[in-house]
Amino acid sequence: MKKKINIAIDGYSSCGKSTLAKALAKALNYIYIDSGAMYRAMTLYALQNNLIKNKEVDTEALVRSLDNVYITFKYNTESMQSETYLNAQNVEKAIRSMQVSRSVSLVSNIREVRSKLVRLQKRMAESKGVVMDGRDIGTVVLPHAEVKFFMNAAPEVRAKRRFEELKQKGMDVTFDEVMENITSRDHTDSNRATDPLRQSEDAIVLDNTDLTIEEQFNFMMKHIFEISGEKARTETTANSN
């Protein structure tokens, strides 16, 4: 694309937002920013420093520590993926654990945490050419993004996808655990006081319950090129990654 734009992708947990965002970023030669990974990294920091006990966060202590938390992304030339670093340590695998998943909504609900990370996310997108996914990208972080998508899928389908992903990574989890986690996160994300999960009025809705990754990718690319006023590259698919 000649003129760079920003693309916001929001939606419920385990909808495949990151998979599609990465594919779009690679096809368009854009920067991919996983905002969810930033909240997961913050949650991992809280767990490592014993700031989460009995499903409660020591909010005051975590807020005092915010200036000591540095979250960045580095591109791994071997995996050809952007990976998350917490205070100079690669935590890409650690932040995907069920332990982090069970606590991330507690941390992401803290106003000061969201304020810090939203500022970082806005700064990352200032130069355009960004694909960013999360829960509040189109409504809070990038309200003026040229293209916005909102993804959803049946909870059972999302839980099955997440369960299979975790099992492939060798993690010891049950389907019921994953289903409970997704249901809980849906409720928390949609009802938190600060920046709740909402569908932006100008977002393009994509329910991918019965769609393949390729179908979703082509759906998004079609809309991106229509909105940008450029001719769609109909032969481009997610498999090009």
Residue type, 215: E
Query: Residue 119 class from Cβ within 10 Å (0-12 exposed, 13-18 middle, 19+ buried)?
Result: exposed
Q: Which string of DSSP letters, residue by residue, matches 97-117?
A: SHHHHHHHHHHHT-HHHHHHH
Q: Which helix (H) or strand (E) holds 76?
A: strand 71-76
C-alpha to C-alpha distance for 191 and 166, rounded to whole angstroms: 26
Tell which residue, 227, 232, 236, 240, has the closest CA to residue 149. 227
The domain segmentation of the chain, as residue ranges, is 6-226
Which of 42-46, 125-129, 180-184, 187-191 reaches the highest mean pLDDT? 42-46
Q: In this predicted structure, which of 110-119, 213-222, 226-235 has the lowest mean pLDDT? A: 226-235
CATH of 6-226, one of 3.40.50.720, 3.40.50.300, 3.40.1260.20, 3.90.1150.10: 3.40.50.300
CA distances from 2 to 144, 151, 231 (A): 19, 26, 11
pLDDT in tens, 73-106: 888 888 778 899 999 999 999 999 989 999 999 9
Give the pLDDT band (50/70/90) at residue 240: very low
